[in-house]
Amino acid sequence: MKVILLKGPNEFELSEIPKPVPAKGQVLVKMAFSPINPSDLAFLTGNYGLKKAFPVVPGLEGSGVVVASGGGFLANRLLNKNVACTAPNTGNGTWAEYMLTDANKCMDLQKNVSLKQGSMLFVNPLTALSFIKKAKKMHADLIVFSAAGSALGQMVTHFAKEAKIPVFGLIRKEELKEEVLSKGFSEVFCTEKTEYLETLKTATKSFKKVLFLDAIGGGRMPYETLNVLPDNSKMIIYGRLDQKPSDFSPQNILFKQNTVEGYWLSKEAQKKSIVEVVLDVRKIQKMLSAGFETTIQKTIKMEELKDGLETYINQMSSGKVLLDLN
Ligand SMILES: NC(=O)c1ccc[n+]([C@@H]2O[C@H](COP(=O)([O-])OP(=O)(O)OC[C@H]3O[C@@H](n4cnc5c(N)ncnc54)[C@H](OP(=O)(O)O)[C@@H]3O)[C@@H](O)[C@H]2O)c1
């Protein structure tokens, strides 16, 4: 079968490997689509939280049809169904004609959810849902969200609207402001403007409990932003889009009584019961069935991965690049 094979950091090629056979509790998925996410970029460079031995097939989530079961109730139940799936923790991932994974890493798709949209069902939607649960738990009256042009940003505003929590978005390119505002943010601020910190401080000062969701991680912006938010704000760091060292000042925590914590879906998912996962996925499928769509800027074949990566890296806010694995 045809696969993308990662032989070392950033060293990948189109290759042929034998089609695997599922063991008990596993399924073989004939892959249809898989997105390129920021976590895949980190995986390709060897900088992702989950490390796998080389050579390995990259790709963390996708969709397809279950064509073989290794036995067991869960695996047999999925046979011939369209599924959203994630890669196993060890072994090969989604950027392949076929993927072997655990049955509990697949969820059958509702009839009106397409294989394209279904390929992005796990990573961002489950993260957006978790964020809103955290916001509700701390009784947040405002969410401040960096990298607001992201696919995740659009999902967070969708669930925040249901929870009646306003979301302020932070972007680095002023020209994206109107487009990002149209994705459900109450206000949008450009972090590159000289008056940014003063404007944000004024706009947020009347809020009592602010949740700051940050995907940037490095440089000065995230910690300068935290410093102008009201006291007792909570910052959740969940991305490292800026690889520069972070300019973190302990005063943020010390005098303003702020809290800072990390979020990683892989670890968070392990804390959830199977019932909670099923309920969350149902909620997401309902959102997709109701017409919510992640923007797809380009669909590419495995042979076009290099160009696809370049397109995605140069214009991430324009939408996802999907690998067509058919
Ligand atoms: N921790 C977890 O479990 C978890 C789960 C899901 C997602 N995430 C993270 O969530 C973030 C968004 O994911 P996504 O799939 O929604 O992304 P996406 O749709 O591909 O969009 C990425 C966004 O990041 C912005 N960006 C990239 N580099 C930046 C930088 N150095 N400074 C400021 N903005 C930058 C881009 O804006 P421009 O147009 O300005 O380039 C774009 O709007 C990623 O960091 C991803 O790793 C984490």
Predicted model pTM: 0.96
For residue 285, being part of any structural domain is answered with no
Give Cα separations from 37 to 61, 252, 284, 317, 324 (angstroms): 9, 31, 18, 12, 15
pLDDT tens by residue, 109-120: 999 999 999 999
Q: Where does the pLDDT of residue 278 fall: very low under 50, low under 70, confident under 90, or very high at 90 and above?
A: confident
Q: Domain of residue 157: give its range.
A: 124-266
Backbone angles phi, psi at 197, to 5 degrees: -65, -40
CA of 230 to the centre of ligand 1 (A): 25
Element (H, E) at 306: helix 305-314
167 and 56 belong to one structural domain: no
- E runs forming strands in the chain: 2-8, 11-16, 26-35, 61-69, 82-86, 98-102, 106-108, 142-145, 167-171, 187-190, 210-214, 234-237, 259-262, 296-300, 320-324
Q: Is position 282 within any domain?
A: no
pLDDT at 47 (0 to 100): 86
* Residue 122 reports pLDDT greater than 80: yes
Q: How much of the chain exceeds pLDDT 90, in percent? A: 89
* Residue 246, domain member (yes or no): yes
Task: Tell me which residue has tokens 């809020």.
Answer: 207
Average confidence score pLDDT of the chain? 95
**Ligand 1 atom 26: the closest Cα is on which residue?**
147
Whole-number pLDDT of residue 248: 85
Same domain flag for 259 and 244: yes
Tokens matching residue 44? 């390709």
Determine if ligand 1 sits within 6 Å of the CB of residue 241: yes
Q: What is the pLDDT of residues 38-54, one digit of tens each?
A: 999 999 999 898 899 99
Q: Is 215 close to ligand 1, i.e. is its CB under 6 Å away?
A: yes
Q: Looking at residue 75, which CATH number applies to its domain?
A: 3.90.180.10
R_g of the chain computed on alpha carbons: 20
Looking at 266, 282, 314, the residue that finishes a domain is 266
Same domain, 93 and 174: no
Q: Is residue 194 part of a domain?
A: yes
| Ligand 1 mutation pick, 37, 40, 119, 297, max ligand atoms within 8 A of CB | 37
* Peptide linkage before 9 cis (omega within 30 of 0): no
Taking phi over 0 as left and psi of -120 to 50 as alpha, with beta for the rest, 236 belongs to beta
Q: Domain check: are 146 and 74 in the same one?
A: no
298: pLDDT strictly greater than 90: yes
Q: Which residue has the higher pLDDT, 274 or 15?
A: 15
Whether 284 maps to a domain, the answer reads no
Report residue 144's pLDDT band, with 50, 70 and 90 as the boundaries: very high
Quick check: CB of 41 below 6 Å from ligand 1?
Answer: no
* Whether residue 134 is found in the same domain as residue 103: no
Which residues in 17-52 belong to E strands, given as ranges? 26-35
**CB 217 less than 6 A from any atom of ligand 1:** no
What is the number of residues in the chain?
326
Domain check: are 107 and 214 in the same one? no
pLDDT category at 159 given cuts 50, 70, 90 is: very high
Structure-block tokens of residue 319: 């939408």
Question: What does the pLDDT average to over 241-254?
Answer: 88
Phi/psi for 231 (5° steps) reads -55, 155
- How many CB atoms within 10 Å of residue 261? 10
pLDDT at 182 over 90: yes
252, pLDDT greater than 80: no
Contacts 24+ apart (CB under 8 A), 113-116: 113/285, 113/288, 113/289, 115/32, 115/33, 115/63, 115/64, 115/82, 116/32, 116/33, 116/63, 116/296, 116/299, 116/322
Mean pLDDT of 1-13: 97
Residue 251 has, within 13 A of its CA and on its CB side, a CA count of 8
Whether residues 174 and 46 fall in one domain: no
User: What is the count of structural domains for the chain?
Assistant: 2
Residue ending a domain, among 266, 284, 305, is: 266
**Same domain assignment for residues 310 and 185:** no
Quick one: 128 and 261 in the same domain? yes
Same structural domain, 298 and 185: no
Average pLDDT of the residues in 181-201: 97
Residue 289 belongs to a domain: no
Co-location of 133 and 85 in the same domain: no
Q: Return the CATH number at 239.
A: 3.40.50.720
The predicted-structure confidence for 68-92, as pLDDT tens digits, reads as follows 999 999 999 999 999 999 999 999 9
Q: What's the pLDDT band for 270 if we cut at 50, 70, 90?
A: confident
287 within some domain: no
Q: Clarify whether residues 228 and 309 are in a common domain.
A: no
For position 250, what pLDDT does the model report? Answer: 86
For residue 288, being part of any structural domain is answered with no
User: What is the percent of the chain with per-residue pLDDT over 70, rounded to a whole number?
Assistant: 100
Whether the CB-CB separation of 85 and 105 falls below 8 Å is answered with yes
CB distance 189 to 169 below 8 Å: yes
Which residues partner with 246 through β-bridges? 219
Mean pLDDT of 201-208: 98
| Domain termination residue (choose one: 266, 283, 315) | 266
Whole-number Å distance, alpha carbon 265 to ligand 1 midpoint, is 14
